[in-house]
Amino acid sequence: MGRIEELHKKINALASVPNEVPLKYSHLIEVSQACALLAVKRGENAELASMAGLLHDIADFKIFNKNVTAENHAALSADIAMKILTELGLTSEEENAAICEAVKKHTDKNTTDTALDEILKDADVFAHGIKDIALKNFRGYRWDKVCAELGISNCRN
């Protein structure tokens, strides 16, 4: 079994709490898949990108913290992600640090960071935007950039 599949199993177990699924978990999967796609396209590590996507909003699961806010969810998710990754032992300390740093930075869409950080930020915007194409709050330079990168010419519809 691969590392991503192991991480899916762990998150599935966490997501089995009533009322946590499907929306929160489906968003993690959507972002994870967008991360893998963008990483492959950009020549980056798709496995680590996919793992970052699976963990980026993990604090939103009520079993971890009932006081999650828009302002603190990235930092809390990074802390929980480190615990999960360390517990699973599938990744090296360097990989854990890179994944958790991307998770921690994913809400700061106005700065440019490492390649993995950028993949997660772009994938999060793309997943939100494609999930509900009528939402306008995810339209902006990241949305436009990812659409252009993927060869989608009519993203402003």
> Which CATH number do you get for residue 26?
1.10.3210.10
What is the rounded CA–CA span in Å between residue 55 and residue 143?
21
Render the burial of 49-73: b for 16+ CB within 10 Å, e for the rest: bbbbbbbbbbbbbeeebeebeeeeb
Structure tokens at 136: 């306008």
In a domain, 154, yes or no: no
Residue 115 domain flag: yes
Signed CA dihedral, 134, 135, 141, 143: sign only = negative
pLDDT tens-digit readout, 80-123: 999 999 999 999 999 999 999 999 999 998 999 999 999 999 99
Res. 153 pLDDT band, cuts 50 70 90 = confident
pLDDT at 156: 66
Q: Could you give the number of structural domains in the chain?
A: 1
Count CB neighbours of 157 within 10 A. 5
Q: State the pLDDT at residue 23.
A: 65
Q: Find the mean pLDDT for residues 38-48.
A: 98
Q: Examine residue 155 and state whether it is found in any structural domain, yes or no.
A: no
Rounded CA-CA distance 15/9 in Å is 10
Residue of 152 and 41 predicted with greater confidence: 41
Higher pLDDT, 19 or 50: 50
Residue 156 lies in a domain: no
- Residues 67-86 have pLDDT tens digits of 777 778 899 999 999 999 99
* Cα angle 41, 101, 22; round to 5: 70
78, part of any domain: yes
Mean pLDDT score across all residues of the chain: 86
